[in-house]
Amino acid sequence: MATDCIFCRIAAGEIPAGIVYQDETVVAFRDIHPQAPVHLLVVPREHVASVDDLSEAHAALAGRLLTAVPKVVAEVGGMDNGYRVIANTGPDAGQTVHHLHLHVLGGRALGEGLVA
């Protein structure tokens, strides 16, 4: 755990965050600045700064992160017609928290553009 990382602290239960799903590898919670009616963040408990920092050693972690998404969606509901999964990497993509995380957006038609 990176003690200065807010997502590490949320995953450790040190900061309340509206958690909607968790298991031994992944924690999912509601985004505090939602960009869609349903906007969730899915983060690994292990601190990895971004997609750029994933290596072969993280293959199982990356798989667990992705396979948690349908579980989170089923748990929260409201996305029966689909949802979008985004991983921002680096400043030009808008990554503001340097802990790997997936944005899961849904609850309305998002259109064909890449952003909500």
Assess whether pLDDT exceeds 70 at residue 115: no
Q: Which of 104, 97, 100, 42 is nearest to 68 (CA)?
A: 42
33 is catalytic: no
Query: For 47-86, how does the pLDDT look when each residue is reduced to its tens digit (9 = 90+)?
Result: 999 999 999 999 999 999 999 999 999 999 989 999 999 9
Q: What is the pLDDT of residues 12-51, one digit of tens each?
A: 999 999 999 999 999 999 999 999 999 999 999 999 999 9
What is the three-class DSSP state of 41?
strand
d(CA 111, CA 94): 20
Helix (H, G, I), strand (E, B) or coil at 74: helix
Domain residue spans of the chain? 6-106
pLDDT over 80 (residue 2):
no
In terms of CATH, what superfamily is 6-106?
HIT-like (3.30.428.10)
Check if the beta carbon of residue 90 is closer than 8 Å to that of residue 52. yes
Q: Name the catalytic one among 39, 99, 101, 103.
A: 101
Give one DSSP letter per residue of 54-68, joined into a string: --GGGHHHHHHHHHH
> Is it the case that residue 116 has pLDDT exceeding 60?
no
Q: Model-level pTM? A: 0.93
Indicate if the pLDDT at residue 113 is higher than 80. Answer: no
SS3 95: coil
Tokens 């409201």, residue located: 78
Cβ-count burial 82-110 (b if 16+ within 10 Å, e if not): ebbebbbbeeeeebebbbbbbbbbbbeeb
Residue 31: the pLDDT is: 95
